[in-house]
Amino acid sequence: MDAADLSPIPESQRTQPAFDLFLIFAAANVVATTLQTGAVLASRYGSTDAIILVLAGAVFGSLLVALLAPVGSRFGVPSMIAARAPLGLRGAQLVSGLLYLTNFAWIAVNNTIAASVCAQLLGGESSARIWAALLGVLATVIVARGPRAVGLADRIAVPLMVIAGSVLTWAAFTLPPSVEMASGQPPPPLLWGIDVVIGYQVSWLLMFADYSRYTRSARAGATAVFAGLAIPALWLMPVGWNLARIAGSDDPGAMLAAAGVGWWAAVLVVLATVTTNFVNIYLSSLAWRTLAPRSTGAGSVWVIGLIGTALGLISSVWLTRFADLMVLLGSVLVPVGGIFLAHFVVLRAKVDVAAIYKTELMPAFTIAGLAAWILGFVVYKLAAPIGATLPSLATSMIVFLLIRHFQRA
């Protein structure tokens, strides 16, 4: 199978079990950056507020992605192809370009965290770049073999991650905290924390149909996606919050070292990094092929995997600006999510598979999609000091629906 195939999947070939779909999303979200999101909250909020933020943000963010998963199951097309209907050809390509660029950052930050942990256990600080390179290449090799190879690898990796994660969880909730990180600092509004958590969850939004198109049942696919995103977040964000309090720092290496579980932490972080980068590389490959249709699937995978790996070797800024990255992603992706929800869920629009592949006949942009995206982004920026996710999402949905209504009138 082509590593980054854009063709619609015939219904007869949508044979992927829902459990495999669950494993793909769960393996992608069982990752050090999920711990890191909880750690970001630890430096700003107390335990009660953190629990509220994780519960509300993780569930709501996962639900946004899950509601769109049936598009893949019903029509068999990847996300960036389906996006042409509400956004137009160039609008969908703009989203593809953003996805392509931001996934370089995700690959880099995942490799940086894993390399830091591995270097502490074997090779010392000087070996971190070697570890980062090895992990980046390993993930790329597996993705280049196609989605079924990814599914098989996840079947092996996820059970091992559950075991290692359980050991880490035990340490996180039995060791005493060294400092109350949120004390002495006025916490930001709760809605700011909601933006961080939802921003992390909706970073998966643009893959809503890419894997579900291999699963025939729309309901089973949506359930698998929701569970695959929500369960790891509800588990690992509180663990990250507590580990940061134990270490007195939100630095991932310091947090995992303070847990004192050694190789178990390395097993979790290494496998989590590789399985999450499966998804990052695959998504970027699909996005690139919508921009450069003549490129090959395997070639796209290798270019993306190696560039993302190289960026992780050059700089560690990805970790120091992690919270800022979450908010930035939210400002771009939340309005897009509102457009998709309005088009595919509220209006229940069907995908004309034949029409969306005839690019020469498609408009560059749709008025409804472009206006909703711009206004949703503006509202997100204006409301950022108090919490922007819900106002931005509502704005993009309402604007899109109103314009579509008047266009049909």
Choose the weakest-confidence range: 84-88, 151-155, 236-240: 151-155
Other CB atoms within a 10 A radius of the CB of residue 148 amount to 12
Query: Looking at this protein, which amino acid is placed at residue 331?
Result: S
Which comes out higher in pLDDT, residue 148 or 172? Answer: 172
Which comes out higher in pLDDT, residue 379 or 263? Answer: 379
pLDDT at site 125: 72
pLDDT at 179 over 80: no
- Range(s) of the domain holding residue 20: 14-319
pLDDT at 177 over 80: no
pLDDT at site 318: 52
**Mean pLDDT score of the chain, rounded to an integer?**
83
Residue 257 lies in a domain: yes
Q: How confident is the model at residue 316 (pLDDT cuts 50, 70, 90)?
A: low
Residue 387 lies in a domain: no
pLDDT at 252 over 80: no
pLDDT at 73 over 60: yes
pLDDT at 183 over 70: no
Choose the weakest-confidence range: 146-155, 161-170, 372-381: 146-155
Check: CB of residue 94 under 8 Å from CB of residue 258.
no
Residue 352 lies in a domain: no
Other CB atoms within a 10 A radius of the CB of residue 180 amount to 12
pLDDT at site 132: 83
Q: How confident is the model at residue 153 (pLDDT cuts 50, 70, 90)?
A: confident
| % of the chain beyond a pLDDT of 70 | 93
pLDDT (mean) for 218-245: 93
Residue 78 lies in a domain: yes
Q: What is the CATH number of the domain that holds 256?
A: 1.10.4160.10
pLDDT at site 88: 94
pLDDT at 109 over 60: yes
Cβ-in-10-Å burial (0-12, 13-18, 19+) of 223 comes to middle
pLDDT (mean) for 220-225: 95
Residue 383 lies in a domain: no
**Which residue is listed with tokens 């592949």?**
357
| % of the chain beyond a pLDDT of 90 | 26
pLDDT at 166 over 80: yes
pLDDT at site 39: 86
pLDDT (mean) for 134-163: 81
pLDDT at site 58: 92
pLDDT at site 222: 95
| Tens digit of each residue's pLDDT (9 = 90 or more) over 265-293 | 778 878 887 888 877 787 787 788 888 77
**Which residue is listed with tokens 């993930």?**
139
pLDDT at 233 over 90: yes
pLDDT at site 144: 79
Residue 273 lies in a domain: yes
Residue 344 lies in a domain: no
Other CB atoms within a 10 A radius of the CB of residue 99 amount to 25
pLDDT at site 247: 85
pLDDT at 180 over 60: no
For the chain, the domain total comes to 1
Residue 6 lies in a domain: no
pLDDT at 317 over 80: no
pLDDT at site 228: 94
Q: How confident is the model at residue 1 (pLDDT cuts 50, 70, 90)?
A: very low
